[in-house]
Amino acid sequence: MATNKYKCTKCGNTTWSSERPLNGTCSKGGGHTWWKRPANARSVKWRCVKCGNSNWTDEHPLKGTCPKGGGHTWRKN
C-alpha cells in the first residue's frame, strides 16, 4: 500500500501514512485537520474563506496565517 504525506493545516506538522489520519490526532493538539499533499504538487490559488484574500502556493496555507487576521481558513479557488 502506498504512503502519502499529510500536513496538519493548523500547525504545519507532517506525517507519512497509508491512511488519512483522524482529525484531532495531531501530536501538537486537538482540533487539527489533515491535508493530503498531491504527489505532483503545483502552485494553486488559495482563497481565505473569511475575507477573500488570495495566495498562490503548492502547500496548504496554515490556519490563521491570513495577513488580514487570525482565525481565517483557506480553500482552493
Please indicate, yes or no, whether residues 46 and 32 belong to a single structural domain of this protein: no
CA angle 7, 8, 13 (to 5 degrees): 80
Please indicate, yes or no, whether residues 32 and 12 belong to a single structural domain of this protein: yes
Task: Give residue for cell 496555507.
Answer: 61
- The answer to whether 36 touches 3, Cβ cutoff 8 Å, is no
Per-residue pLDDT of the chain (77 residues; tens, 9 = 90+): 688 888 888 888 888 988 888 877 887 777 788 888 777 778 889 998 888 889 898 888 888 788 887 778 888 87
Sheet holding 44-48, edge to edge: 54-57, 44-48, 74-76
Please tell me the predicted confidence (pLDDT) of residue 24: 77
Please indicate, yes or no, whether residues 29 and 47 belong to a single structural domain of this protein: no
Please indicate, yes or no, whether residues 47 and 69 belong to a single structural domain of this protein: yes
Please indicate, yes or no, whether residues 45 and 73 belong to a single structural domain of this protein: yes
Please indicate, yes or no, whether residues 2 and 30 belong to a single structural domain of this protein: yes
Domain count, the chain: 2
The residue segments making up the domain with residue 65 are: 41-77
Task: Give residue for cell 507532517.
Answer: 14
